[in-house]
Structure 1
Amino acid sequence: MRKTLLVEGMSCGHCEKAVKNALGELDGVSKVEVDLATKKVEVEGEGLNDILIKGAIEDAGYELIEIR
């Protein structure tokens, strides 16, 4: 399963690492890729839960705009 997220507030390498770490700790996540230029985050894994993804992004200090 793959989800594309639009995340507001990311602007630097620290932001990229924070989002990768937050999402990487969720059960089922196998890969996280962040593109700062487009503000898109690609998440791969099994049994991905939108509510948990949203919580992890917000707990890291960013705003989840959209999940596709």
Structure 2
Amino acid sequence: MTTRNYTVTGMTCGHCKASVEKEVGAIDGVTAAEATLSTGALTVTGDNFTDQQVAEAVDEAGYTVTPA
């Protein structure tokens, strides 16, 4: 099991947080995705997922991500 941390920019509300968590949580191998609205932190846990997959999922949700 791998846990990686990222920083998401652009999240301003609960809907933003939920959108990011939903998109990232749908990645094959991801077992948990938790975003923190106040800090922009995103913690992703699972196996066999890549930073590129996370970036694409966050982009699909309408936000920008960088490794923390």
TM interval, short-chain normalised: over 0.9
Tell me the matched-pair count.
Answer: 67
**Unmatched segments (≥5 aa) in structure 2:** none
Partner of 1:42: 43
Task: For residue 27 of structure 1, give the secondary structure of its aligned residue in structure 2.
Answer: coil
Query: 1:6-64: CA deviations, max 9, x gaps?
Result: 00000111001100100011000001111111100000000121111111101110011
Task: For residue 54 of structure 1, give the secondary structure of its aligned residue in structure 2.
Answer: helix
Deviation at 1:67, TM superposition (A): 1.5
Identity across the alignment (%): 33
TM-score normalised by L of structure 2: 0.92
Q: CA RMSD in A?
A: 0.9
